[in-house]
């Protein structure tokens, strides 16, 4: 969902990275949809459902690129729904 609206999704990839120099996670979602109007390049709120693990991930993002069926969202803060089991905790 983008800003609370369903998106005709074909597939999507979520990339999450923890860099050693910061505690903040960097994340990006690349989505492929059926043909639709592009999203404007502005902040939005994403809600993504992981159907395999039955959980929702959500967070604020910026639309980096969007055409009629390819869309790139860059995380703009926390990504809710991640847990320590996801392997993203810092090693000490």
19-55 pLDDT, tens digit each: 888 878 899 999 999 999 999 999 999 999 988 888 9
Q: What does the alpha-carbon distance between residue 21 and residue 69 come to, in Å, rounded to a whole number?
A: 35
Confidence of residue 87 (pLDDT cuts 50, 70, 90): low
**Cβ distance 16 to 50 under 8 Å?**
no
User: 66: how many CB neighbours lie within 10 A of its CB?
Assistant: 20
Is the pTM higher than 0.85? The answer reads yes
Q: What does the alpha-carbon distance between residue 51 and residue 34 come to, in Å, rounded to a whole number?
A: 19
Asked if pLDDT for residue 15 goes beyond 50, the answer is yes
- Residue 64 or residue 86, greater confidence: 64
Task: Please list the residues that pair with 30 across neighbouring strands.
Answer: 13, 72
């Amino acid at each position: 969902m983008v800003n609370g609206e369903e998106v005709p999704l074909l597939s999507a990839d979520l990339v999450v990275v923890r860099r050693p120099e910061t505690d903040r996670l960097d994340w990006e979602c690349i989505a492929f949809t059926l043909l639709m109007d592009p999203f404007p390049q502005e902040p939005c709120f994403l809600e993504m459902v992981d159907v395999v693990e039955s959980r929702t991930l959500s967070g604020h993002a910026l639309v980096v690129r969007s055409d009629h069926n390819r869309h790139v969202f860059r995380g703009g803060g926390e990504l809710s729904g991640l847990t320590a089991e996801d392997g993203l905790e810092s090693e000490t």
